[in-house]
Each structure stands twice: as C-alpha cells, then as structure tokens.
Structure 1
Amino acid sequence: MALRSLDNALPTTLERPKKQAKVAVSIQKQSDFGVNDENKAPLPPTADATIDYISFENLKVMPDPETQITGLTEGLDSKDWAKVCESLNDARRFALYHSALMAPILKSVVGAGEGHEEP
C-alpha cells in the first residue's frame, strides 16, 4: 500500500482576510496648540519673567527723569506684565524723588493703574 502525502489530507479552505482594527489617531488642531499636556515637564521660566519688588529704601534716583516721565503712562498701559511692573517701580521713584514732575500726569498714571485691577 502506498503512502499518501499529508498535505492532501485536509481540504483547503480559503482564509478570510482579517479586518483591520480602527485606531483613532488624534491630530493636533491649531486651536490646541497652546494647550498644556500634563504629561510633559513644564518649561523653565525665562529670565524676563522674573519681576523683583524693590523695597522703598532701595529705590534709586532716576538719572534723567524729564525724558523718562514721557514713557511712564505707556508703560503702565502695556500688555506685557514685566513692563507694567517696571513702570510701577518707576512711578514709585517719581513719587519719591520727582513729585513735581509727576503731579501733572498723576490722574493718567492712577487711571492706567486702575485698568489692571482684577474683577
């Protein structure tokens, strides 16, 4: 008796193609660009972001107050908080050492400071 090959013993069946799993891939939108990811380490603050409060005793006289008084209200109206804080320190210097120069613009300086209040 002759031996048959085992390859022919089982009938051949067609295999169905397997379905691909649907994977949801999130594409970052432009609106999500500024959103923080809680799994990422925060970036260290820049050197410009540090704002120091100058105590009353350490306020120094301004070298050229006549030219610096012209930019005081613009600095207080700035969107940059570092510039606003620097201008507040300048306003304190003017009030301490050059109050006569500050008197004519006092209302605009106080008005500029009121715009940054928290509700």
Structure 2
Amino acid sequence: MKLTIGKDDVRAIQAKYGGPNAVAGYVEEAKLFNIPLPKYYVMVLDDEKLTLVQMNMSFKEVAVDTVPLSEVTRVKVSGALVKKIVLETNDKTYKLNLKPLALGLGDIQKDLLARIEDLA
C-alpha cells in the first residue's frame, strides 16, 4: 500500500485531467475531527474548470468531480500553516485544507495556492 503521494502522481493526474495551463496539488476534506478519516483529493485547476479527483488510502482514483469556473460564486482562503479553502458554487460548497509546506510537494502546492488566491 502506498503511504504518500508524490509529485509524479500529482503531475500524472494533472496531465490526465488538466489543460495546458493547469496546476495541480494535494488537498484534504476540511473536518473538525479526523474521525472518520477525511477524503483525499488531487485538485486540478486550469483556465476553464476545477477538477477534484478523490483518492482512496492507496492513492488510487475513486471519483472525479468537475466544476466549471463560471459556476464558482465565492472563493475564500484562510489560515496560517494549513490553508482552508471554501469554494461555493450554485449548488454545493467545498471545504478543503491545503498544506503549502507539505514535504516533497511544496512548490506545486504553492503554485496551486497562488492560482486559487487569484480566483478570490
């Protein structure tokens, strides 16, 4: 069983679901308590859409949720070390945690965070 997700895994999902200007990173479902475990996602953000690829504990794809950026009504980013991202669409609210200092993923996490902050 795979215990961590690496840059190669994130880039493979980015190539599969993103366009030429896409950025991708690792995010988790925001929960107050981690019981049961939060859902794990790779977020792919390009010029037209936001794609959340849900991963299982072995970091295999489970589900894909695609949201056109035209449907995103509000984006809020808060937090110091762990950034809490709230994305509101017409019919759903996504609450996610992004760790910009994640070991081995720091540069791609920061690129994703910068692109999300541009949406806000």
Q: TM-score range by the shorter chain?
A: under 0.3
Query: Larger helix proportion, structure 1 or 2?
Result: 1
* Larger-Rg structure: 1
State the TM-score, normalized to the length of structure 2: 0.28
